[in-house]
């Protein structure tokens, strides 16, 4: 820790625990009074959220493609096999399907106007 802690135990039990094991001070310093920049907010994290969601889409897509058969007669049965026979195949398929929707609704749509506005406000 770089600075002095601002935590002061209030009750007798907290003071007793603080003398023996300063776990409450540690939790307070790491979760409550953790120093962060003033300009850090939820809008700054859209890029990281999009990156994480894109990685999930790529990983689940690769795993699903390994079990998929792209033939007109076998496509439905291969998806059915993914859902029934592959371990946690149902979870992978639903993560991939719902992740794509969330990727655009929660990630790309809020991120694009913010990015375009930022570019347009810049110097010409």
Q: Which pLDDT score is estimated for 18?
A: 86
Residue 37 pLDDT > 70, yes or no?
yes
Rounded to whole angstroms, the Cα distance separating 93 from 68 reads: 11
Residue 123 pLDDT > 90, yes or no?
no
Lowest mean pLDDT among 3-7, 49-53, 116-120: 3-7
Rounded to whole angstroms, the Cα distance separating 92 from 83 reads: 9
Residue 43 pLDDT > 70, yes or no?
no
Are the CB atoms for 8 and 2 separated by under 8 Å? no
Give the chain as a 3 state SS string.
CCCCCCCCCCCHHHHHHHHHCCHHHHHHHHHHCCCCCCCCCHHHHHHHHHHHHHHHHHHHHHHHHHHCCCCCCCHHHHHHHHHHCCCCHHHHHHHHHHHHHHHHHHHHHHHHHHHHHHHHHCCC
Rounded to whole angstroms, the Cα distance separating 11 from 17 reads: 10
User: 16 or 112, which is more confident?
Assistant: 16
Are the CB atoms for 7 and 28 separated by under 8 Å? yes
For the chain, how far is it from start to end, CA to CA, in angstroms?
A: 44
Q: Which pLDDT score is estimated for 5?
A: 72
The architecture in CATH of the region 42-121 reads Up-down Bundle (1.20)
Residue 1 pLDDT > 50, yes or no?
no
Domain ranges, ordered by start, for the chain: 1-35, 42-121
The mean pLDDT value for 6-12 works out to: 84
Q: Provide the residue count of the chain.
A: 124
């Amino acid at each position: 820790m770089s600075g002095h802690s601002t935590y002061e135990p209030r009750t007798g039990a907290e003071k007793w625990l603080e003398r023996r094991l300063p776990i409450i001070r540690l939790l307070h310093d790491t979760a409550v009074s953790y120093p962060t920049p003033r300009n850090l907010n939820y809008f700054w994290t859209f890029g990281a959220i999009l990156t994480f969601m894109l990685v999930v889409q790529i990983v689940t897509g690769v795993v699903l493609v390994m079990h998929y058969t792209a033939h007109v007669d076998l496509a439905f049965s291969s998806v059915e096999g993914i859902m029934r026979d592959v371990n946690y195949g149902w979870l992978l398929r639903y993560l991939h399907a719902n992740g794509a929707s969330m990727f655009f609704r929660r990630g790309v749509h809020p991120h694009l106007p913010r990015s375009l506005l930022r570019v347009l406000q810049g110097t010409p």
